[in-house]
Amino acid sequence: MAFNKPKKPLFSLNSSLCTTLFFIVLFTIPILLLLHTPTNSICTTTSSKIKSWSGDLRDAEFSWNRLKFNDKNPPLKTLKIAVFSRKWPMSATPGGMERHAYTLHMAMASRGHQVHVFTSPPMEHVTPTTSHMIDDSSQSSPIIHWHEGEAGRWRYNKAWEQYQEENEREPFDVIHSESVALPHHVALSLPNLVVSWHGIALESVQSSIFQDLARNPNEPMSSSFNQGLQGMIPKVLNEIRFFHNYAHHVAISDSCGEMLRDVYQIPRKRVHVIVNGVDEKDFCEDSRLGHDFGSNIGLPQNATIVLGVAGRLVKDKGHPLLHAAFSQLKEKYPNVYLIVAGSGPWLQRYKDLGPQVIVLGSMNPSELKAFYNSIDIFVNPTLRPQGLDLTLMEAMISGKPIMASRFPSIKGTIVVNDEYGFMFTPNVESLVEALERVVEEGRGKLARRGKACREYASSMFTAKKMALAYERLFLCIKNETFCTYH
């Protein structure tokens, strides 16, 4: 299969325009992104399923998760796949990008594909073979190549040497890079390379703006924040230039896909939207498990509504908003409880709110399953529009409705129907209003919303659905015959 060599952008801007561009972006990007909703005709309805579509998959401007791929049969062709990931999960609580790489490629390997992962030395002790490779011969385990060097420190050049050695032995069909694990100057010569973006600089600009808006009125803007925001504009411009070096781009949300096509000017046939998935075996509805978990953590039986939040307890995840909003809510509704799963600077502040807040600390996936089943609704007050938090998908597939910040990525991909939950503008007043609507609605209606969420998530956000979409993309890159979808 032959692809055109990635082209450079059609424009070039010198650094003297950066200051002007900064103010343009500062005032226009937030407005455009807040108003932005994916407008593809195929996605104008709120349905999670596409009844009928056919054509060249490279023309699809909607999420491939909406399509049906046959999972009953073996792959149309088995592939040899090279994966470049800065880290490979060795702990119970890996970061989102690591979890994505692990979930996706464990699923790909279980489908019979030969997966080689090139990554940095693990922080935990591992005894490598002489080639710094651990080979688990079971079908469900990829071959992991740890490069030499300091534990946890990514050195792409070392990983690239290992790749070249393995590629000479038997060529790879496709290469997958998690973000810029493979730098753009290396990517330029690889027509079979796919890169997954878990957040782009343009989204980071909006994130910084919302984080600053969340500060107290009497709290001055820090000089480091001001300098950092100005520094983001050259970063956006730099990304727009070098992103073209990557042959194929996977956006993990519909809104990110549109930004890559419309702002980053990447040809639409090279932009593909595939939403991340979670392992459906790890998360499911289990009311008994949730009841027992609630009893064990001291959740009283007279609790009328139980809210839940999970993840890093830091400012950019919106915890200043939730902390302030629940401080008001608990005074008005003494039987409403908040369960907090995670760790970070805001942990002690949640504890200080009193007995209506139960703080659990960090939890592994098996514990999170019980956590989701113990709550009535999952709250995600994030101030980071980039990417999509996996916790949203975990909660939905566990049968729980969502309350989340009204960002294009969440609105256009997760809460695509009002039935799935509530959205709020990322400020305390809007969040309080949304929380009060939840309390007034009651458990019965929330449970019905949860059923709808599970149905939608099961059709969109499973590891199997994600893996089948990536598999078809990889096959399409290997041979154009596989690009046609009926």
Q: DSSP alpha helices (H): ranges in 36-183?
A: 96-110, 156-169
Say if 6 falls within a structural domain.
no
Mean pLDDT for the stretch of residues 152-180: 96
Longest dimension (CA), the chain: 68
Predicted pLDDT at 141: 66
pLDDT of residue 31 exceeding 80: no
pLDDT at 210: 81
pLDDT tens digits, one per residue of 244-300: 999 999 999 999 999 999 999 999 999 999 999 998 888 989 999 999 999 999 999
Sheet of 421-424, strands arranged across: 357-361, 336-341, 305-310, 377-380, 402-405, 421-424
Strand 377-380 and strand 305-310: the pairing is: parallel
Alpha carbon distance 84, 172 (integer Å): 13
Q: Give the model's pLDDT for residue 50.
A: 53
Q: Is 203 in the same domain as 303?
A: no
278, exposed or middle or buried, with CB in 10 Å at 0-12, 13-18, 19+? buried
pLDDT band per the 50, 70, 90 thresholds, residue 76: confident
Closest CA to 154 of 132, 133, 182: 182
Q: What is the pLDDT of residues 13-24, one digit of tens each?
A: 444 444 444 444
| Contact status, residue 385 vs residue 409, Cβ threshold 8 Å | yes
Confidence grade of residue 78 (pLDDT, cut at 50, 70, 90): very high
Cβ contact 339:358 at 8 Å: yes
89: its two tokens: 């999960």
In this prediction, what percent of the chain has a pLDDT beyond 70?
83
250 lies in the same domain as 309: no
**Coil vs helix vs strand at 310:** strand
Looking at residue 225, its pLDDT comes to 65
pLDDT class of 72 with cuts at 50, 70, 90: confident
CB atoms within 10 A of CB 439: 16
The average pLDDT across 61-72 equals: 90
Stronger pLDDT, 236 or 51, i.e. the higher one: 236
- Predicted model pTM: 0.85
In terms of domains, do 165 and 29 share one? yes
Distance, CA of 458 to CA of 285 (rounded, Å)? 12
Q: What is the CATH number of the domain that holds 203?
A: 3.40.50.2000
- Within this chain, do residues 452 and 475 fall inside the same structural domain, yes or no? no
Q: Give 258: exposed, middle or buried? Use CB within 10 Å, 0-12, 13-18, 19+.
A: buried
In a domain, 9, yes or no: no
Both tokens assigned to 63: 């999420």
- 223 and 293, same domain (yes or no): no
202 and 87 within one domain: yes
Residues 348 and 359 in one domain: yes
pLDDT band of 226, cuts 50, 70, 90? low
Looking at the fold, whether 302 and 246 belong to one and the same domain comes out as no
How far is residue 317's CA from residue 249's CA, in Å, rounded to a whole number?
26
Would residue 7 count as lying in a domain?
no
Tell the burial category of 247 from Cβ atoms under 10 Å away from its Cβ (0-12, 13-18, 19+): buried
Specify the range with the lowest mean pLDDT, choosing from 148-157, 180-189, 220-229.
220-229
Q: Is 92 in contact with 124 (CB distance < 8 Å)? A: no
Of 354 and 152, the structure prediction assigns the larger pLDDT to 354
353 with 444, same domain? yes
Among 100-109, 333-342, 383-392, where is mean pLDDT lowest? 383-392
In a domain, 8, yes or no: no
pLDDT in tens, 412-459: 999 999 999 999 999 999 999 999 999 999 999 999 999 999 999 999
74 located within any domain: yes
Instruction: Write down the pLDDT at residue 30.
Output: 41
Q: Is the pLDDT of residue 215 over 70?
A: yes
Check pLDDT > 90 for residue 119. yes
Predicted pLDDT of residue 95: 64
pLDDT of amino acid 350: 97
Cβ-based neighbours of 216, under 8 Å, separated by 6 or more: none
- Are 146 and 90 spatial neighbours (Cβ–Cβ below 8 Å)? no
pLDDT at 10 over 70: no
342 and 472 co-located in one domain: no
**pLDDT of 29 higher than 50:** no
Segments forming the whole domain that contains residue 92 = 15-277+463-485
How many domains does the chain fold into?
2
Q: Name the one residue in this structure whose structure tokens are 């702990």.
A: 91
Say whether pLDDT at 26 is over 60: no
User: Residue 107 pLDDT > 80, yes or no?
Assistant: yes
Mean pLDDT of the chain: 85
Cβ-defined contacts of 92-95 (< 8 Å, 24+): 92/364, 92/365, 93/362, 93/363, 93/364
Q: Which residue has the higher pLDDT, 16 or 384?
A: 384
Structural domain includes residue 436? yes
Mean pLDDT of 118-135: 59
Which residue stretches of 266-364 are H helix?
A: 287-296, 319-332, 347-351
Query: Over 50: is that where the pLDDT of 47 sits?
Result: no
* Residue 315 domain-assigned (yes or no): yes
One domain for residues 203 and 214: yes
Per-residue confidence (pLDDT) for residue 61, from 0 to 100: 93
Asked whether residue 270 falls in the same domain as residue 252, the answer is: yes
